[in-house]
Chains A and B, each alone.
Chain A
Amino acid sequence: MLVLLGILVVVVGFALKLNPMLVVTVAGLVTGFLGGMTPLAVLNAFGTGFAGSRSVSIFLLVLPVIGLVEHFGLQQQARRLVSKLARLSTGGILAGYLFLRQILAAIGLMSIGGHAQTVRPLVAPMAEAAAVRKYGPLPDKVVQRIRAFAASTDNVGAFFGEDIFVAVGAVLLITSFVDTTYGFTLVPLQVALWAIPTAVVALLIHGTRSLLVDRTLRREMAGLATAEVTR
């Protein structure tokens, strides 16, 4: 049971916001020693594990071309693409961005969206502007909710899109971990395919909720208007 202290190290280390690389390494050393392994055996396990999981880091070889295309304006072009959603309603913009983000993540284009790259400069202002166009000035509470929802579409789209792309960190982490540890030979493509059902459900749930934002808005703004009149 003592070996479980290693998990505690991970939990506490992450909670204290220590450098994750340090936390993980220390947790590995602690667990190894508590599990009765000799220092040599622990280092051997570290070495074998590292050598067997190099495929996780293979995405390094894609960084030069991504950087190159960024240099020529990839993110700017992505923003122009997203801004074409501008004529939709608030809910439509949110749902449209969710869909776009998920599709792009699924084909490995994670870095062209994001809170700094697209949500703040584009999605949130556009969703807000669509509501203002329809209802006039919005109360602060409503603005806050629209913005927060815009951020949520980015997260949901990215999380449940990226796992469909075979060569992303998550998929290769799964295959390399279970292959080195349990001696499987899992095909990344299979793991990626099994991410599709959840991705579809995520799109349905969050997409529906995005579209429902319009209805909530209508009800809320109507409620506000009548409150105004009775006053």
Chain B
Amino acid sequence: MISVEWFYWLMGLFWLGVGVLVARDRTNPKRLTSGLFWALLGLCFPYSSFVVTKTAPAWPLGLVIVVIAALAGTGRLAKSGSATAATADGDVEGANLDRDADRGDRGVRPGGGTGGSSVALAPTREREARAEKFGNRLFIPVLAIPVITALCAIAGPYVIIGGRPLLQKGSETVIGLAAAGIIAIVISMVVFKLRSPALALTEGRRLTEDLGWALVLPQLLSVLGLVFATAGVGTAIGSTVSAILPKGSLLPAVILYCVGMAVFTVIMGNAFAAFPVLTAAIGYPVLVAAMGGNPAAVFAIGMLSGYCGTLCTPMAANFNIVPVALLELKSNYAVIRAQLPTAIPLLVANIVIMYVVAF
């Protein structure tokens, strides 16, 4: 049986490798603390396997996560190659612009390098020539990813070898994506006629370092949600909510969840951050537990209601403010103004869809 744990160990190994390489990379202005960040993250993954099976205590893992967050949160994580821009040959339009926008994404990132990309990045002119050469064949490896993932997710549960399912039950999608990432490397080696996967690992390291702590944030938000639920945030809001809401009235509860998601997203600029809060408060206790809503539909549409908020907030700078600068617009709110007439009817549509399909 293929277990999802294998892939978590592989990820851990990859991050550990990145950590070692970064720690030895003299182009990284903060190589030791950056290396420590990636290496610790790498160690968390295999250790988690024992936490899940309850053969190791969870608190050391919790402690390491706080340390990792402190490292990133106090600006001790930097990209490699920040000193030597790999794109030195007048490559303004493509790579540098990409990277600059990338920085805008995380404008809050302290010490996030000076904009040069990490490690190897082929200059745009070269990549242009290669795009000419390979044309639409470039899409073969990337299209293989959704195809393989969907195949594993849909057909996976039915493949049984020796009386046991081939893929670990309940994790078919995740295994599918992980396997797709690896199989696609093999496919690209055929398409691009490469002899070794070394370039893939170098490029993987580049993207990993580019993403930085943003890579871990979704997982940390998931942790926050669990802490919220354990500490009773849900029940605290839930009791307030049920005091306001008339008993057993569905529509007001649906409206409160969807509009709440949008409003919290406007305030925080991030639907992922709003999701654990509102779900602990209304989504789970009221809509799913009390009203018997279909959890997949309630949560999916709840998240999308949050996205309507993302369209309306300057807090989501990478989507709404960065393009203002990129497109030389005069008003900071120009993009938001273009999006408001879509966001509001779409939020209403979400409320209607959830009310109709989830109950």
Residues of A bordering B, CB below 8 Å:
1, 3-4, 6-7, 10-11, 14-15, 17-25, 27-29, 31-32, 34-37, 40-77, 80, 107-109, 114-117, 119-121, 124, 144-145, 147-152, 154-156, 159-160, 163, 165-167, 169-174, 176-178, 180-182, 184-195, 197-198, 201-202, 205-206, 209
Which of A18, A70, A151, A193 interacts with B338 by CB under 8 Å?
A151
Those 10 A-B pairs whose CB atoms lie nearest each other, nearest first:
A35-B231, A67-B203, A22-B73, A73-B131, A47-B58, A64-B204, A46-B62, A43-B62, A116-B101, A47-B61
Q: Is the CB of B138 within 8 A of A56?
A: no
Q: Is the CB of B220 within 8 A of A24?
A: yes
Q: Which chain A positions have C-beta within 8 A of B257?
A: none
Would you give the 0/1 interface string for B165-183, flagging 1 where the beta carbon is closer than 8 Å to chain A? 0000011011011101110
Check if B94 is an interface residue, CB within 8 A of chain A.
yes
Q: Which chain B positions have C-beta within 8 A of A40?
A: 59
Min CB gap B18→A, angstroms? 10
Q: Which chain A positions have C-beta within 8 A of B228?
A: 3, 6-7, 31
Min CB gap A108→B, angstroms? 5
Would you give the 0/1 interface string for B41-58, flagging 1 where the beta carbon is closer than 8 Å to chain A? 000110111011000011
Q: Is the CB of B200 within 8 A of A177?
A: no
Check if B322 is an interface residue, CB within 8 A of chain A.
yes
Q: Is the CB of B94 within 8 A of A75?
A: yes
Q: Which chain B positions have C-beta within 8 A of A80?
A: 131
Q: Which chain A positions have C-beta within 8 A of B72?
A: 19, 21-22
Further pairs besides A4-B237, A21-B220, A171-B300: 14, Cβ < 8 Å: A6-B233, A14-B270, A14-B315, A21-B73, A53-B223, A57-B219, A71-B122, A151-B324, A155-B339, A167-B176, A173-B222, A177-B222, A187-B153, A205-B346
Q: Is the CB of A198 within 8 A of B350?
A: yes
Given the known interface contacts A44-B62, A77-B139, the answer about A198 and B301 at a Cβ–Cβ threshold of 8 Å is yes
| Chain B residue with the shortest CB-CB distance to A199 | B304
Check if B66 is an interface residue, CB within 8 A of chain A.
yes
Q: Is the CB of B216 within 8 A of A45?
A: no
| Chain B residue with the shortest CB-CB distance to A37 | B231
Min CB gap A155→B, angstroms? 5
Which of A31, A115, A163 interacts with B231 by CB under 8 Å?
A31
Q: Is the CB of A20 within 8 A of B188?
A: no
Q: Is the CB of A22 within 8 A of B218?
A: no
Check if B130 is an interface residue, CB within 8 A of chain A.
yes
Q: Which chain B positions have C-beta within 8 A of A7?
A: 228, 233, 277
Q: Is the CB of B329 within 8 A of A148?
A: yes
Check if B286 is an interface residue, CB within 8 A of chain A.
no
What is the CA–CA distance of A197 and B356 in the complex, to the nearest angstrom?
A: 11
Q: Is the CB of A163 within 8 A of B303?
A: yes
Given the known interface contacts A155-B320, A195-B300, the answer about A32 and B231 at a Cβ–Cβ threshold of 8 Å is yes
What is the CA–CA distance of A121 and B97 in the complex, to the nearest angstrom?
A: 10
What is the CA–CA distance of A36 and B101 in the complex, to the nearest angstrom?
A: 42
